[in-house]
Structure 1
Amino acid sequence: MTRFIWDKFSKDFLETLLSPYGTVVVSKEVTSEIKEIDVYFSPNTAKIPSQLGLLGRLCQNPCLLEPYRNGITLDGINDCLSKRFAIREIFHREAKRNKQRISEEEIPKLWILTPTASERILSLFTAQLQPNWGEGVYFLPEGFGTAIIVIHQLPAIPETLWLRLLGRGGTRERAIDELERLSPNNPLKSASLNLLYNLSRNLEALSKKTQEDREFIMRLAPLYQQDREQAVQEGLKRGLQQGVQQGVQQGVQQEALKLVLRQLQRRLGEIPHNLEEIIRNLPVERLEDLGLALLDFDTLTDLDNWLHP
């Protein structure tokens, strides 16, 4: 169960960061044996923004992304390669059907993301570093169209941050420290933290946790609490400021109501009319409580349960 939760986080993380710049398909099926590509990405923009760093560079062209929770194995690499061969066959078959020629450069690349990789594994596949890619990026011979990104070997620079968040232990913790120091206006920071918070809550719900799970939950706890308190303070401040300007208590309530409804819509989507009516009739004190509680909501059911304890 722990592995499933971490794997889901990796896929959700890549999908969230890449979806503004192209089509992301998670668990894409290929071949009659129903093999699944973890993440298949096809960009819809000429150039992915530099803020995605190395991750953006990997995804400048259509590609397969295969993130691994544990160090990659011989079987794991062969399994990934079989998916890439299946995609290659699909592209060539489509080109033949349309009477077109296709070059190897047009076939989606395969990027295997792994926290670690042994020298033996890299040697077996003749995986080599390339000067213009830096440490941690090992390319297989050209005909494979594949590279292994060893996350724990990546240099600790801003360009590798988003990939290092998929690492383990100290590598991930240091990446979280860097993420915390980013500007609050950075949209990738907010999206990444929300995914990390969701991961922490999912792990916390497990009856059996690994030591790494517990350490991760403890690392996220103060950061999560800080974000919650800041969100509540900002919401109250805006509501109170508007109330003072209007000079009436109704102004405070209306501003608090609009803020809470806006936050709920951003988090849960469209709010059903019956639930919205209940919220509109809440006193200011309850609206403040809801503004704090909604940070833990994942579904409309959570909201309904809060309104009907």
Structure 2
Amino acid sequence: MTRQSHDQFAKEYLEELLTPLGTIKKSEKVKSEVQEIDVWFEPFSDQNQENLPLGLLGKMAKNQCLFDHFRNPPSEIEIRSCLLKLYAVYGDVVRKAKRENRNITESELPILWILTPTFSSRMITGLGANEILEDWVQGVYFLPNILKTAIVVIHQLPENEDTLWLRVLGKGGTQKRAVEELTELPENNPFRENLLEILADWRKNLELRDNLSREEEEVIMNLSPAYLQQIEDWKQEGKQEGKLEAELYFITSLLEGRFGSLDAELSGVVAKIAKFPISERAQLLLSLGNLSREELLQRLSSKES
């Protein structure tokens, strides 16, 4: 998967979650060789974050911060590049303070949060990073205080409601379970609808690519529950013209991805699957990789009897 494609999703996703809390300087460029920051966040001074169910992400965003997200574990060079961007920001803050003839405080200097699905113990040791379990959860590693940097290892986070928003940015089973949890959130959750749309859009954009990598195919499957839920929401709200066509296309594309070009018999099951309740439909489509053609047809036949 190209980093550009995933970066765009991560930026939109984090922006949607953080916008109610403060100001987003999305894709802010720093002068040092024109490097781009994923998300630069400044919280509102009067924002009561307790009213927003953001858990660990909300705690991270209580102070000004930068977010750099990696789809794959960053290398030593990439970590140094993140630090370089952070200190370029510090340089801008210091120069601005000098022009205004005032001293700066530590609170004006943002902390850098590096988000990665996994990270080796060798890298953690090499960076001198440590967990602070009395204040933070497992999987959050802080570099020495003077560096104002922390690494969040998403796959090490406890799987609970507080970490849900960050786990969606993981990979494999971690991401799959988080997306399923997101679809099960109550409809009055302030983030549910827009995040489902972002995830569904990312899935559709990936599906349109040619020569998908194995990782991209995995992401498409991981995001399928969000896409199915989005279609179901559109159906219930009556917002989307052609919603049935979109649903049939989605099911057809998954079947073609598993079995190749569909013959008359397989084409005939598409509409049947579309009529299943969303939970049964999602379970069936997510299990396609483990089903043969005969097993699929047998399961559908037993469903009708």
- Please state which band the TM-score falls in when normalised by the shorter chain: 0.7 to 0.9
Aligned length: 245
Pair 150,124 (structure 1): closer, same or farther in 2 beyond 3 Å: same
Distance in 2 (alpha carbons) for counterparts of 1:293 and 1:19: 33
C-alpha contact (below 8 Å) 2:114/2:151 kept by paired residues: yes
Give the Cα–Cα distance (whole angstroms) in 2 for the partners of residues 229 and 162 of structure 1.
22
Q: Partner of 1:42 in structure 2?
A: 42
Distance 2:39 2:156 in 1: 22
- Choose 221-230 or 175-184, whichever is displaced more: 221-230
Mapped partners of 2:225, 2:14: distance in 1: 25
Q: Write 1 or 2 for the structure with the bigger share of helix.
A: 1
- Is 1:77 equivalent to 2:79 in the alignment? yes
Q: TM-score, normalised by structure 1?
A: 0.73
Q: Distance in 2 between matches of 1:23 and 1:230?
A: 30
* Matched ranges for 1:227-306 at <5 A: 227-235=230-238, 263=239, 289-290=241-242
Following the alignment from structure 2 to structure 1, what is the Cα–Cα distance between the partners of residues 34 and 229? Answer: 44
For the structure 1 residues 191 and 233, does the alpha-carbon distance in structure 2 shift closer, same or farther, using more than 3 Å as the test? Answer: closer
TM-score scaled by length of structure 2: 0.74
Asked if structure 1 preserves the Cα contact closer than 8 Å seen for 2:113 and 2:150, the reply is yes
Contact map agreement 1:13 1:195 (CA 8 A) in 2 = yes
Q: Using the alignment, how far apart are the partners of 1:176 and 1:143 within structure 2?
A: 36
Match of 2:214 in 1: 211
Structure 2 counterparts to residues 70-219 of structure 1, below 5 A: 70-131=72-133, 132-219=135-222
Deviations 1:86-144 (A, max 9, x none): 11111122222222122323311111111111111111110111121121110011110
Q: Tell me which residue corresponds to 1:60.
A: 62
Q: 1:17 aligns to what? A: 17
Q: Displacement of 1:290 after TM fit?
A: 4.5
Identity rate, percent? 44
Aligned equivalents of 2:109 and 2:161: distance in 1? 29
Q: Pick the structure with greater CA Rg.
A: 1
What's the offset of the Cα at 1:15?
A: 0.9
Taking only aligned residues, the RMSD between alpha carbons, in angstroms, comes to: 2.2
Amino acid aligned to 2:47: A
Task: Encode CA deviations 1:46-83: one digit per residue, 9 max, x unaligned.
Answer: 33244011111111111110011101211111001111
Residue 87 of structure 1 aligns to a residue in which SS?
helix
